[in-house]
């Protein structure tokens, strides 16, 4: 079995969501700009291409779009079938930008439309696919409503939040999201995306990087901010049933932050009384990490002695990041891990977290 | 194009060869091979990236390297001398098969000889052992 916790799908254009929009929003989306509404995007372009070149064809980019939409047959041919994926959890491409779009009310309506699109165009079409509820994080009450709206549809197995944000996700303004997610047992997947775009701050306190190359090395920074924020602010103390996934932030940096969380807590805990326990205890109980992009030291055997301290037999979830350029091929990733934990990383940890049972046909 | 002699060689007429900057795929037995023309030379590479097994030739791109001169100016390398992997975008020198960013990796090359106006790609007399 294999559960891939990060497979990106996206629409060709925001206009693809028009059939799923209410009348007033449809009217606005169709007539905005010179060619319909579009979302803010990165200030850098990937110098050699964001997407695996075999995951799209010339027709998909004929319109000039930078991020070509994906198709189910291609996903099946390149990933689901050859790697015998039992479940694939779908993460958004451009729709992740709804959370960093300034117009919060519009963003909430777009998120609802996207989830309807996802259910009809993807989740309904292949029994192996599962979705994350995309919400407008900058409108927490609407986001909570959207989570509750999807909670009874077991094809949605979690909530998606991008790394780019107005404030770290441990801030109390986000409590409605954590409350709704915890009520319904939906893990919140915080995924590197749109850090430094729209409402979000620059990807580091050093300011905006000059190049995509710099940005990509640093792009987990938003996630590290959310990681520290949620633990220290007491999210998991206030919502004991809440669980969080750090997706596409790599693995090694989290270990350093974990040790610093514990060390600094010992001196600073009077400032953060809601973090009642040693921070790492919350991490073991409430936080999981996806494997991609897995760090690649010069000597591959140097990896395990480091990441073993993150208790990967419990915390690590396989992710490919298909169809992006830094896609991690499943057999390679799992081969880097000791044999005794491969099943846990390949499917058991994700199966338990996302409550995925034995697959059933459509 | 046609196969002449054994199943270990493929003969191609000049008209079947790719122009510079393009890749033409052929099959020889179970081998999928990409044909390239760099300058006046024809090269044949395996359709498998040695990094993670991506379809290097059938989905890759012929590109030209960008280099920085010691005086700080940028210049282009030899035209169309590199093939870029479609997955992780690593570049390989078409003539040598060497990975530009990871010298320990080399894509398999197949011998190419000229026979009159034709080109013959062979599985034997290998430039690189599999």
Judge whether A358 lies within some domain: no
Kindly state whether A210 is in contact with chain B, defined as any CB-CB distance less than 8 angstroms.
no
- Here the CATH number for the domain that contains residue A44 is 3.20.20.140
Q: Which pLDDT score is estimated for B128?
A: 61
Residue A308 pLDDT exceeds 80: yes
pLDDT tens per residue, range A196-254:
899 998 888 899 999 999 999 998 899 999 999 999 999 999 999 999 999 999 999 99
CA distance B38 to B80: 6
CA distance A250 to A224: 10
Residues of B in contact with A325 (CB under 8 A): 87-89
> Rounded to whole angstroms, what are the CA distances from B102 to A51, A298, B66, B107, B110?
21, 10, 17, 11, 21
Nearest to A329 among B53, B55, B60 (CB): B53
Q: Which pLDDT score is estimated for A283?
A: 98
Nearest CA in chain B to A54: B59
Mean pLDDT over B108-124 rounds to 94
Judge whether A100 lies within some domain: yes
Judge whether A360 lies within some domain: no
User: Which residues contact residue A109 at a Cβ distance below 8 angstroms, ignoring those fewer than 6 apart?
Assistant: A21, A22, A25
Q: Classify domain B9-122 at the CATH topology level.
A: Rieske Iron-sulfur Protein (2.102.10)
CA distance A149 to A147: 5
Give how far the C-alpha of residue B57 lies from the chain's centroid of Cα atoms, to the nearest Å: 7
From the CA atom positions of chain A, what is the Rg in Å? Answer: 19
pTM here? 0.91
- Choose, out of B86, B101, B105, the residue to mutate when testing the contact with A (most A CBs < 10 Å): B86
Residue A252: which domain range? 3-353
Nearest CA in chain B to A78: B54
Q: How many helices (H) and strands (E) does chain A have?
A: 16, 8
**Does this complex have an ipTM over 0.90?**
no
Residue A362 pLDDT exceeds 90: no
Question: How is A19-68 classified by DSSP, letter by letter?
Answer: GGS-HHHHHHHHHSTTTS------SS--TT-SB-GGG--HHHHTT--SSP
pLDDT tens per residue, range B24-72:
999 999 999 999 999 999 999 999 999 999 999 999 999 999 999 999 9
Q: Which pLDDT score is estimated for B126?
A: 65
Q: Specify which residues B75 forms β-bridges with.
A: B67
Kindly state whether A325 is in contact with chain B, defined as any CB-CB distance less than 8 angstroms.
yes
Judge whether A215 lies within some domain: yes
Q: Which pLDDT score is estimated for A86?
A: 97
Instruction: Parse chain B into domains and list their residue ranges.
Output: 9-122
Q: What is the DSSP letter of A310?
A: G
Q: What is the DSSP letter of A80?
A: I
Residue A64 pLDDT exceeds 50: yes
Number of domains in chain A: 1
User: Which residues contact residue A352 at a Cβ distance below 8 angstroms, ignoring those fewer than 6 apart?
Assistant: none
Kindly state whether B100 is in contact with chain A, defined as any CB-CB distance less than 8 angstroms.
no
| Strand pairing class (B41-46; B109-110) | antiparallel
Q: How far is B44 from chain A (nearest CA, A)?
A: 20
């Amino acid at each position: 079995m294999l559960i891939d916790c990060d497979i990106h799908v996206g629409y060709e254009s925001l206009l693809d969501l028009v059939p799923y929009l209410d009348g007033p929003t449809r009217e606005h989306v169709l007539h905005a700009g010179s060619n319909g509404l579009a979302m803010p995007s990165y200030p850098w372009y990937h110098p050699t291409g964001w997407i695996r070149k075999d995951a799209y064809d010339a027709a998909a980019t004929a319109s000039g779009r930078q991020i070509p939409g994906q198709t189910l047959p291609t996903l099946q041919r390149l990933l689901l079938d050859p790697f015998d994926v039992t479940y694939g959890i779908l993460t958004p491409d451009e729709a992740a930008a709804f959370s960093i779009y300034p117009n919060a009310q519009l963003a909430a309506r777009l998120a609802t439309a996207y989830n309807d699109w996802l259910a009809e165009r993807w989740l309904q079409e292949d029994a192996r696919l599962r979705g994350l509820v995309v919400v407008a994080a900058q409108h927490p009450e609407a986001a909570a409503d959207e989570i509750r709206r999807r909670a009874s549809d077991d094809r949605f197995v979690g909530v998606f939040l991008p790394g780019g944000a107005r404030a770290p996700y441990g801030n109390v303004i986000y409590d409605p999201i954590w409350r709704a997610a915890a009520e319904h047992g939906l893990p919140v997947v915080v995924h590197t995306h749109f850090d430094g775009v729209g409402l979000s701050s620059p990807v580091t306190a050093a300011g905006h990087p000059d190049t995509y190359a710099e940005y990509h090395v640093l792009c987990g920074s938003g996630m590290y901010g959310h990681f520290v924020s949620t633990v220290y602010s007491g999210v998991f103390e206030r919502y004991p049933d809440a669980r969080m996934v750090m997706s596409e932030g790599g693995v090694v940096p989290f270990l350093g932050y974990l040790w610093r969380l514990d060390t600094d807590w010992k001196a600073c805990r009077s400032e953060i009384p809601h973090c009642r326990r040693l921070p790492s205890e919350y991490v073991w109980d409430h936080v999981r990490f996806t494997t991609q992009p897995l760090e690649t030291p010069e000597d591959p055997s140097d990896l395990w002695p480091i990441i073993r301290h993150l208790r990967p037999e419990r915390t690590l979830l396989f992710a490919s990041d298909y169809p992006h350029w830094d896609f991690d091929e499943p057999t390679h990733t799992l081969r880097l891990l000791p044999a005794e934990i491969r099943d846990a990383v390949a499917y058991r940890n994700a199966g338990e977290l996302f409550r995925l049972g034995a697959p059933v046909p459509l | 194009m046609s196969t002449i002699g054994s199943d270990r060689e493929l003969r191609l007429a000049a008209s079947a060869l790719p122009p510079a900057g393009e890749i033409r795929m052929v099959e020889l037995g179970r081998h999928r091979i990409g044909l390239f023309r760099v300058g006046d030379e024809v090269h044949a590479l395996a359709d498998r990236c040695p990094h993670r097994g991506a379809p290097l030739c059938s989905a890759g791109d012929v590109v030209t390297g960008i280099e920085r001169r010691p005086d700080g100016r940028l210049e282009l390398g030899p035209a169309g001398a590199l093939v870029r992997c479609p997955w992780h975008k690593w570049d390989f020198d078409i003539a040598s098969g060497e990975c530009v960013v990871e010298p320990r990796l080399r894509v398999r090359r197949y011998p190419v000889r000229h026979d009159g106006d034709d080109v013959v790609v062979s599985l034997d007399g290998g430039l690189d052992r599999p």
